[in-house]
Amino acid sequence: MRVCAAAPFAAHEALAAGDSRWQAHDIVRLRRLESFDSEPTWVRDAFARAPFAVVRRAQAADGFVAIGVRGVARNERYGTWTRVDDIEAMFAPEALSSTHVVENRAALPALLALDALRHDTSGLGGFVWGPTGSVGFELATGKPTVTSGSDLDLLIRIPNYLSRAQAQQIQSTLDAHASQAGIRIDAQLETPSGGVALAEYSSGKARVMVRSASGPRLVADPWTL
């Protein structure tokens, strides 16, 4: 997040595991957006336009969920928290992978690439996956968010060990679709330890960066806790 509010709870109250009902990259519709700290001027307009936020990786106390608010500009990202009671609905990335795209938006490169991946059973067909980023936000909210230059960001849930060779095959498939669409496709593997960039893991590095609620760290095996 470019800017982050001060936590509305004491540090010792934060829970490392958080509430398992919501995971990073889920999109939540909120009844209200409570202000816990000074916030950028654009936040209220953004929330009025789309009362949604994205669950982010950060520790939260019982009864809270760490969220990020999206503005219109790329640098308008605000990290804050919501109370669990203010969450009205949740949309996981995998639930959005089959969401209907509005016809007059379907020709945008990132949405074309998503549609191609939906029909490519040899690529991600055996995995639980879905769009995040601007594509996921547009599909969840119905608000135009994707532009002609938007990347396609993906989350792939990998609860069990994935070999480097398998990761390279997935990366190769995504690279082919990205080249055809003329955009970037960035995928994150959701492992038991946290999020790992597919490109980094498939590159064969001895250790990879894992992002979790307690912060980033380098690990050799994201499936070993």
How big is the CA angle at 128 (ends 220 and 17), to the nearest 5 degrees? 55
* 212: its two tokens: 């979790």
Q: Which of 62, 86, 115, 153 is catalytic?
A: 153
8 A C-beta contact, residue 223 and residue 161: yes
Alpha-carbon distance of 134 to 147, in angstroms, equals: 8
- 86 in active site: no
Question: Which H or E run includes 117?
Answer: helix 109-119
Q: Catalytic: 115?
A: no
Contact at 8 Å (CB) between 51 and 38?
Answer: no
Q: Which of 45, 86, 115, 151 is catalytic?
A: 151
Q: Tell me if 88 sits within 8 A of 181, measured CB to CB.
A: no
Q: Cβ distance 64 to 9 under 8 Å?
A: yes
Q: What is the H or E stretch that residue 155 is in?
A: strand 152-157
Beta-carbon count within 10 A of 5 CB: 18
152-157/185-191 β-pairing: parallel
| Positions marked catalytic | 151, 153
